[in-house]
A and B are shown apart, each in its own frame.
Chain A
Amino acid sequence: AQSVTQPDIHITVSEGASLELRCNYSYGATPYLFWYVQSPGQGLQLLLKYFSGDTLVQGIKGFEAEFKRSQSSFNLRKPSVHWSDAAEYFCAVDAYSGAGSYQLTFGKGTKLSVIP
């Protein structure tokens, strides 16, 4: 079965600083990879996804992520963080689970705090 690890539970950065959130997955083949963001009191919003092609994926709100097969990683980056980026971020893997279906498995999340 697939699994997702987000090693950092909580990260604090200063506004304007760069950001990298780590995500590692475990799956026997190339999975479909997603990053979602959850603002306080809100549902989840898709930031970006990777399913094939260019390993550097651009998303909304200035985020990007790079798929590295050799490291089984899909880290999320942003060159300059804004205070409104404070939220919880979830990495997810969508992998074939048999009987013609896929299952989306989430990491435990990384909470981002932004210092003015």
Chain B
Amino acid sequence: EAQVTQNPRYLITVTGKKLTVTCSQNMNHEYMSWYRQDPGLGLRQIYYSMNVEVTDKGDVPEGYKVSRKEKRNFPLILESPSPNQTSLYFCASSFGLAGAETQYFGPGTRLLVL
């Protein structure tokens, strides 16, 4: 089944404790991205990757890191989480960057930073 998977689905952590949220897709997509969703703000892009070893900042990259060492995986790293990073995070992927490409979303990771 074609899908984007994220782990963990739920995470509670404390300020400053490094964490990684994994994202994996099995559709051989080149383009992957991370979004955060906050009430009243919709989805905002954190980082995106156009291919292996190619990443770039989205609209809200502060406090986050990413890496793309393999085509299928795009982990999101919070090296020193803060309470304002409490949010719902979505990973997405698509075949490419052409404007009409459909992005496929993972199920989301709900993060609470105390």
Contacts and interface: CB of A to CB of B under 8 A. Distances in A.
Q: Is the interface of A mostly helix, strand, loop or mixed?
A: strand
A42 B101 CA distance: 21
Contacts, number: 57
Interface string A78-103: 00000000000010001110001111
A9 B100 CA distance: 26
Contacts of B100: 32, 49, 51, 94
Q: Which of B50, B98, B100, B101 has the most CB of A within 10 A?
A: B100
A95 B100 CA distance: 9
B42 A32 contact: no
Given A108-B41, A109-B42, A101 B97 contact: yes
A95 B42 contact: no
Interface in A44-80: 44-46, 49, 51
Q: How large is the interface on B (under 10, 10 to 19, 20 to 34, 35 or more residues)?
A: 20 to 34
B40 A104 contact: no
Contacts of A36: 105
B107 interface: yes
6 contacts: A43-B105, A43-B106, A43-B107, A46-B102, A101-B56, A106-B43
Top 4 A-B residue pairs of the complex, sorted by shortest distance between their CB atoms? A51-B100, A32-B99, A108-B42, A43-B105
Given A103-B45, A103-B58, A104-B103, 20 more contacts: A42-B107, A42-B108, A43-B105, A44-B92, A44-B105, A46-B102, A49-B102, A51-B99, A51-B100, A90-B42, A101-B48, A102-B98, A102-B99, A102-B101, A103-B48, A104-B33, A104-B45, A106-B35, A107-B42, A109-B42
